[in-house]
Amino acid sequence: MDAIKKEMLKAFEALLGKYSGIDVRYEFSHEYGCYIVSVDVSNLEKSKLDDFSELLLVQIKDLQNKFGEEAPLFCINEEWFSLSSNAITYAAESVDESVRIGTQSSRSTRLRVIERVYHH
């Protein structure tokens, strides 16, 4: 896996680990010569939008500092560009763990790649 994709996926994990109400779609664009990323925030609680935006900007700036003009381009809800049906989607899902401590069950979040067909 190339270095840019590896760092980009780390950024996705940071976002999805903290904000389970988002989906992140990406693909490599030959038109732009880099990865393009769209973050779907339509299911994110409005009260978390400002904090999410701050973390997203930190992640974007970090990628720009590391990779310059080759850094991924980000947008929200495909406002600036559209991704193809080949784009990969990352989402977070809540998972009930089978491990129980006393009478408490554990709930965690895991990341998964999901395939969805988006129609525009």
Which residue segment(s) compose the domain that 110 sits in? 3-114
Look at strands 73-76 and 88-101 and give their pairing. unpaired
Is residue 49 one of the residues assigned to a domain? yes
Is residue 44 one of the residues assigned to a domain? yes
Is residue 22 one of the residues assigned to a domain? yes
pLDDT tens-place string over residues 29-72: 999 999 999 999 998 889 999 999 999 999 999 999 999 999 99
Q: Please report the pLDDT score of residue 37 as a whole number.
A: 97
Q: Which are the contacts of 27, defined by CB distance < 8 A and separation ≥ 6?
A: 35, 36, 83, 84, 86, 87, 88
Sheet with 73-76, strands from edge to edge, namely: 73-76, 34-40, 23-29, 88-101, 104-114
Higher pLDDT, 99 or 18: 18
Calculate mean pLDDT across residues 81-107.
64
Total domains in the fold of the chain:
1
Q: Report the share of the chain in percent with pLDDT over 70.
A: 76
- Beta pairing partners, 96: 107
Is residue 52 one of the residues assigned to a domain? yes
